[in-house]
């Protein structure tokens, strides 16, 4: 099984959503490409390629009002839990750094078989990640995600994560 492609449908959905947000002047969020190094064979052209460094996260940009927003998108076919092995440690710490600087960081986790997508706070993932490192569960149950995250609605766009950002995560000026 090719695990590298399992989140492509989710990423395409999010790219469509981001294009709609751009058209509506709500946000400018783009896919962040992973830099690759290509290796050439004189006779065949590119023979192989490897990532030059660990990527940051999948998407980043700015929402209306100037707030920075970054998130990582993950998908699973599992119906009962999300494997923590799908998340790399550097992704958690990148999103925590975004939040420390005043930006908004989170994960979008899709249960593709259930057609459910959740906006999951970085701190929620960190707690489960650290618990796993201490010998706890190697996954987060769907019930735990349903209790600690927000179901992303489908409205004018396929995955309206900004509705949650604006109502729950946006830092309001006092």
Binding-site residue set for Mg(2+): 58, 72, 91
Euclidean distance between the first and final Cα of the chain, in Å? 51
Q: Residues at the annotated binding site? A: 58, 72, 91
DSSP state at residue 4: G
| DSSP letter string, 56-68 | --SEEEEETTS-E
Rounded CA gap, 33 and 29, in Å?
13
Spatial neighbors of 73 by CB under 8 A, at least 6 apart, are 7, 10, 11, 14, 58, 59, 107, 108, 110
Rounded CA gap, 99 and 79, in Å?
30
Residue 28: C-alpha distances to residues 125, 163, 169 (Å):
25, 15, 17
């Amino acid at each position: 099984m090719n695990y590298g492609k399992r989140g492509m449908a989710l990423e395409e959905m999010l790219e469509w959503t981001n294009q709609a947000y751009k058209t509506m002047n709500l946000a400018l969020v783009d896919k962040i490409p992973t830099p690759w190094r290509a290796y050439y064979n004189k006779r065949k052209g590119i023979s192989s390629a490897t990532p030059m460094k660990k990527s940051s996260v999948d998407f980043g940009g700015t929402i209306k009002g100037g707030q920075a927003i970054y998130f990582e998108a993950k998908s699973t076919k599992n119906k009962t839990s999300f494997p923590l092995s799908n998340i790399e440690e550097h992704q958690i710490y990148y999103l925590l750094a975004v939040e420390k600087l005043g930006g908004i960081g989170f994960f979008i986790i899709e249960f593709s078989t259930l057609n459910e997508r959740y906006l999951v706070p970085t701190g929620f993932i960190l707690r489960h990640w650290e618990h796993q490192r201490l010998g706890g569960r190697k996954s987060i149950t769907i019930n735990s995600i349903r209790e600690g995250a927000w179901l992303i609605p489908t409205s004018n766009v396929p995955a309206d994560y900004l509705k949650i950002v604006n109502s729950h995560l946006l830092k309001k000026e006092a």
